[in-house]
Structure 1
């Protein structure tokens, strides 16, 4: 949780945004944090956060920009894992008017199920700010050494689709999915996660997350090598050694007549004998898919086999 807290604190410290971006961030924080709801016959806005810095940012924004009174209420929740501390930003007086200003209600006084149209179709600064606000409200990030993910729990399917579309505008592929009746938007690719952290304004945390992930991968590889007696790893090592030997034999047969793209693929296989095809594809210049790298290595071996047969005739 320490790294996640650092990310949200870094995002809350951003001061250079213009008013439209700040409003987009505040709207997303209110929408994903809880939003407008009826309590005892009247409407209030309640947004809950696991980061005190995030909650304080929204409280100040509501008071200074929207000129509405907002209270910050600490909440402690008992869970099987221990006590969880959360921070609620609550607007009781003028909540409906604030919801209209922020776009949580449309002009016909209907709740907006996703994100307001002016944000979804807004400029890139607004799109980044909306993602930032959603992450500050309900975002999570994988710990170093675990399977990589960046995820936001969404209040509705429409909100998830809006967030997925916003990520697409930033050039990042995000997946909207349902998990245990909750809507989520998830990033799995480590490079995409690092880029998203940079785009929404957390470059320091992006560097730290990437560094710890790489360290974790290195430790994991060392542990795998130390336990090389595992049957699956023995089979993988044998397959990699056989593939490398076939490529080496193909180079001997073809000599200088190897097409450059096939030579580059084969050399990657020799230089990175324990790497997966997907990893080899990422190492290529420019990067290619695992199917493409597999196809090039296959064509290299087929060309060598054909040349060897022709020489025997």
Structure 2
């Protein structure tokens, strides 16, 4: 089961909320899951979900809290990637009454395009429940190890702005954005996502998501460090080989006319071609620092370059 499905299962299992919170969640699920439809001048409430547990929660709440019968219908839809199963909760006969009771129709029987005002300005339990309902209806959550996001696809800009306002009341900054033809409300910061999951009631999956994300970050950091160390080793090995070739050339140019300390440093480089400068310094007799051995090899190469240049100038003058 994908982690987003686990979140929805955990949220749908919450059943000890106050009636006002239950109503807020139900209204958000209806609004973000589909909403109101007018069929032959008759209002029908219908919402679709990818979670069976979410659909069952809404069906049960409509019956228990609002007193209306609701049908639960399994809908299979073929897509290029295979068959997708969704679950539709439909209220036919009492659709208009449910729309009024849930606040999705105002007193003048006009559709409310965002969320009912009594929810957005209600108590914190209602605000949390509204976010929970919106997520159950159309929420998405990134898998741990990927770029972090929690996102809700909204039925319109009014619903997106209502959700942003509700998040603000919870102390969370959410961003509304348009992606192609859909309005979305998005959270990106991992700590904010974990907090929102907890506020909605998915405490167990919030910990699981955060734990897996941290594990992924630690593995990624370890891999980056390993790659960094490997690259450093390759660069060091390449530099050592190049230095050995230069020392060998310097010995040919200078012959026996080399100061003993420079000769000893150069010979160490030739005898231990894969060793680091620090290791060469420890191998010297007596041991010297990395900077000292590097300085001696550098002076050896400079001396060879100077002698080679003098010989070239002497040949030109002859």
Fold match, TM over 0.5? Answer: yes
1:55 is matched with which residue?
A: 55
Q: What is the rounded CA distance, in whole Å, between the counterparts of 1:47 and 1:120 in structure 2?
A: 21
Q: What is the rounded CA distance, in whole Å, between the counterparts of 1:129 and 1:227 in structure 2?
A: 46
Q: What is the SS of the residue equivalent to 1:152? A: strand
1:37 is matched with which residue?
A: 37
1:309 is matched with which residue?
A: none
Q: What is the rounded CA distance, in whole Å, between the counterparts of 1:90 and 1:99 in structure 2?
A: 12
Q: Aligned pair in 2 of structure 1 residues 66, 222: CA closer, same or farther (>3 Å)?
A: same
| Root-mean-square deviation (Å) | 1.7
2:276 is matched with which residue?
A: none
Q: TM-score, normalised by structure 2?
A: 0.70
Are 2:223 and 1:223 aligned? yes
Q: What is the SS of the residue equivalent to 2:86? A: strand
Q: What is the rounded CA distance, in whole Å, between the counterparts of 1:49 and 1:224 in structure 2?
A: 40
Which consecutive segments of 4 or more residues in structure 1 shift more than 6 A? none
Please, which runs of 5 or more residues in structure 1 have no aligned partner? Answer: 235-313
Map Cα deviations across residues 48-75 of structure 1 (whole Å, 9 max, x no partner): 0010000000000001111111011111
Q: What is the rounded CA distance, in whole Å, between the counterparts of 1:90 and 1:182 in structure 2?
A: 23
Q: Is the 8 A contact 2:176 2:186 kept in 1?
A: yes
Q: What is the rounded CA distance, in whole Å, between the counterparts of 1:170 and 1:138 in structure 2?
A: 20
Please, which runs of 5 or more residues in structure 2 have no aligned partner? Answer: 235-318
**Across the two proteins, how many residue pairs are aligned to each other?**
232
Q: What is the rounded CA distance, in whole Å, between the counterparts of 1:94 and 1:15 in structure 2?
A: 24
Alpha-carbon shift at residue 226 of structure 1 (Å): 3.7
Q: TM-score, normalised by structure 1?
A: 0.71
1:111 is matched with which residue?
A: 111
Q: What is the rounded CA distance, in whole Å, between the counterparts of 2:9 and 2:180 in structure 1?
A: 29
Q: What is the rounded CA distance, in whole Å, between the counterparts of 2:63 and 2:132 in structure 1?
A: 20
2:151 is matched with which residue?
A: 151
Q: What is the SS of the residue equivalent to 2:106? A: coil
Q: What is the SS of the residue equivalent to 1:85? A: strand
2:65 is matched with which residue?
A: 65
2:191 is matched with which residue?
A: 191
Q: What is the SS of the residue equivalent to 2:78? A: strand
Alpha-carbon shift at residue 222 of structure 1 (Å): 2.6
Map Cα deviations across residues 125-184 of structure 1 (whole Å, 9 max, x no partner): 000000000000000000011100000001110110010010010001100111112111
Alpha-carbon shift at residue 229 of structure 1 (Å): 8.4
Q: What is the rounded CA distance, in whole Å, between the counterparts of 1:230 and 1:147 in structure 2?
A: 26
Q: Aligned pair in 2 of structure 1 residues 63, 216: CA closer, same or farther (>3 Å)?
A: same
Q: What is the SS of the residue equivalent to 1:228? A: helix
Alpha-carbon shift at residue 41 of structure 1 (Å): 4.8
Q: What is the SS of the residue equivalent to 1:72? A: strand
Map Cα deviations across residues 20-43 of structure 1 (whole Å, 9 max, x no partner): 000000000000000111235532
Structure 1 stretch displaced more, 184-193 or 40-49: 40-49
1:170 is matched with which residue?
A: 170
Larger Rg: 2
